[in-house]
Structure 1
Amino acid sequence: MSNNHHKTKKHKAIKRRRLTLKQQRSILGYLFISPFIIGFLLLFLTPLIQSFIYSMNNLTVTSTGYELDYIKWENYNQVLRVNPDFVPALLSTVTQLVSKVPVVLIFSLFAASLLNAKFKGRAFARSVFFLPVILTSGIILAMESSDLLVSSAQLIAEDNMQSSSGQLMQFLQFRRLLYSMNIPPAIINFLVLAVDQIYEIVIASGVQILIFLAALQSIPIALYEASTMDGATAWENFWKITFPMISPLIIVNAVYSIIDTFTHPDNEMMSMIQTTIFSQSNFGTGSAMAWIYLATVAVMLIIMSVVLVKSLARYQY
């Protein structure tokens, strides 16, 4: 009797120690993000706190270091109410984000769907779509902005002035064609802006294409086979199977695209903050700009996430 009691007690102890599937996934998720958490605490938390302190003070560099003069919210007031360039640049960046991110997501999903099909040279095509990510990183990006390349680009632009004017006429004809089709002006402006930024869209879509491609390849083929046998068309398969299965990755790509757009080196706000801090040595004002910009990024991420979660909820299983 005591032996059976001991086995029952041991079995209950083992059962209590056994984690549920949700707990196992939570632990696995924390393991995946642990490098970021450790890196943030060790490398970024202290500079982040110092940046906020600088934004609340007037920093003066001295021979022995620097001195802080506490001025409360004066730097923020200077940036938002006195500086004539900050607010227009911030609005321009937000407008660019709103127009660019949806196009990047649509293009990435379209390109991933094409690359997921079976054809000869598929591996080469995938590398070509990811090549812009490599070309816009590190030293390559610095070379693009060097004086040599800038001067070469200016010479090419001068030589091709006539062809550019011809392209401008074609661009106006494209807008006129859309108006003749009675398309709403908001959609026309969106399409025209997307065509005008096609180079930037391709450059910014490499990582998103890979994420969508991985999601597409994780969908079981048996689902498509069963759906096709029931008479579903390719269009129905996309909206009933493909889109619901990859919808969580749309939110991931949207968050990545927003952060990538806001932190890109060519971003007007990033250039303004860097110039204010490093060229003008105005650390307090530059830090205030950075914190306002960070708050804007956070608000845009929250709005985009809420909108996407509510919009995609009906498509998820």
Structure 2
Amino acid sequence: MLYVSPWLFGFLFFFFIPLIYSLRYSFSSIKANASGMSIEFTGLANYVEALTVNLNFNRTLVESIVNMVINVPLIVIFSLFLSVILNQKFFGRAAARSIFFLPVILASGVIANLEISSLIQMLNEQNASSGSFINALGSDELARMMLRSGVNETIVSYLTGAVDRIHQIVSQSGVQILIFLAGIQTISPQLYEASKIEGATGYETFWKITFPMVSPLILVNVIYTIIDSFSSNEMTALIKETGFTNFNFGLSSAMAWIYFLAIMIVLLVSTYFISKRIFYQE
């Protein structure tokens, strides 16, 4: 309790009260006048407007969920693959680990604010445009090769989408790589020694030892990646624009609570299915 007390007090004093106000605003019509702010209870009117009247909310919500469904497996698989490689002994291992964690630092709020009106942002935009062109060429060639080999079109579209999203996947995998790497380093070396004596290959060692032992961390990384993918996207931008640009705080709060419920459903479903396959060493 002493360890979690800073977060607990922060939640109670800085998050819980705004959360209650947000729930109240979602059922109200808020208007500013000379005497201050007037709040009028309107029931489910804001929720109905968000789901049936607003032209962008449903589309943006569906796009956010679809992007999450596509990105989360790619990020988790890529992170596990990189953590296995970075756990090996090779020259420059520490530098390689730092390079893959560097996007997390560059994506932080301080660095992002520094780049808003700087030359770095302009260079990043140019690199992004040229990188997207190169990725498009690579993904088209990859799609043609797989289609000629008889691969299913659904699988081809998913894999080519992964190639187009490679920058996003790498930039959002730093924390997950560290978590997987820490978990792999806690696996007893005697297990690998015994498997080597028995003649197990590297492929068998990964699927029989490494993967089951880090399966609890797969659940942790899936939950973290889902929340991270939902925390900053077009949906959050739409909610902020509705509230702080259009000053429709009631509709903005309703959108936020619908978005919150959607995230909770996705987390519950993901946790339910993944927790059934987790291996815990007794």
Question: TM-score, normalization: structure 1?
Answer: 0.82
- The unaligned stretches of length 5 or more in structure 2 are none
Tell me, yes or no, if structure 1 residue 204 matches structure 2 residue 175: no
In structure 2, what is the Cα distance between the partners aligned to 1:236 and 1:156? 40
Q: Counterpart in 1 of 2:141?
A: 173
Tell me, yes or no, if structure 1 residue 276 matches structure 2 residue 276: no
Tell me, yes or no, if structure 1 residue 66 matches structure 2 residue 44: no
Q: Counterpart in 2 of 1:192?
A: 160
SS at match of 1:88: helix
1:163-312 aligned within 5 A: 168-264=136-232, 267-310=233-276, 312=277
The alpha carbon displacement at 1:151 in A equals 5.3
Deviates more, 1:234-243 or 1:109-118: 234-243
- The letter of the residue matching 2:72 is V
**8 Å Cα contact 2:139/2:163 also seen in 1:** no
Q: Counterpart in 1 of 2:47?
A: 76
Q: 1:147 to 1:75 in 2, by over 3 A?
A: farther
Q: 1:199 to 1:301 in 2, by over 3 A?
A: same
The alpha carbon displacement at 1:144 in A equals 4.1
**8 Å Cα contact 2:132/2:164 also seen in 1:** no
The alpha carbon displacement at 1:204 in A equals 0.4
The alpha carbon displacement at 1:96 in A equals 0.2
In structure 2, what is the Cα distance between the partners aligned to 1:122 and 1:81? 53
1:49 is aligned, of 14, 20, 37, to 20
The alpha carbon displacement at 1:230 in A equals 1.7
Q: Counterpart in 1 of 2:76?
A: 105
In structure 2, what is the Cα distance between the partners aligned to 1:260 and 1:164? 23
- The letter of the residue matching 2:164 is D
SS at match of 1:178: helix
The alpha carbon displacement at 1:36 in A equals 2.9
Question: TM-score, normalization: structure 2?
Answer: 0.92
Q: 1:31 to 1:166 in 2, by over 3 A?
A: closer
In structure 2, what is the Cα distance between the partners aligned to 1:33 and 1:181? 54
Equivalent pairs counted in the alignment come to: 281
- The letter of the residue matching 1:242 is T
Deviates more, 1:146-155 or 1:228-237: 146-155
In structure 2, what is the Cα distance between the partners aligned to 1:229 and 1:263? 47
The alpha carbon displacement at 1:164 in A equals 7.0
Identity of aligned residues (%): 43
In structure 2, what is the Cα distance between the partners aligned to 1:259 and 1:205? 13
Tell me, yes or no, if structure 1 residue 132 matches structure 2 residue 100: no
In structure 1, what is the Cα distance between the partners aligned to 2:190 and 2:132? 51
The alpha carbon displacement at 1:113 in A equals 0.6
The alpha carbon displacement at 1:123 in A equals 1.1
- Report Cα offsets for 1:15-35 as digits up to 9, x if no partner: xxxxxxxxxxxxxxx665444
The alpha carbon displacement at 1:231 in A equals 1.9
- Report Cα offsets for 1:114-172 as digits up to 9, x if no partner: 110011211111111111000001122234444766656667789x6xx9767644432
In structure 1, what is the Cα distance between the partners aligned to 2:186 and 2:5? 25
- The unaligned stretches of length 5 or more in structure 1 are 1-29
In structure 1, what is the Cα distance between the partners aligned to 2:141 and 2:17? 54
- The letter of the residue matching 2:161 is L
Q: 1:145 to 1:305 in 2, by over 3 A?
A: farther
- How large is the Cα RMSD of the aligned pairs? 2.2
Q: Counterpart in 2 of 1:16?
A: none
**8 Å Cα contact 2:23/2:257 also seen in 1:** yes
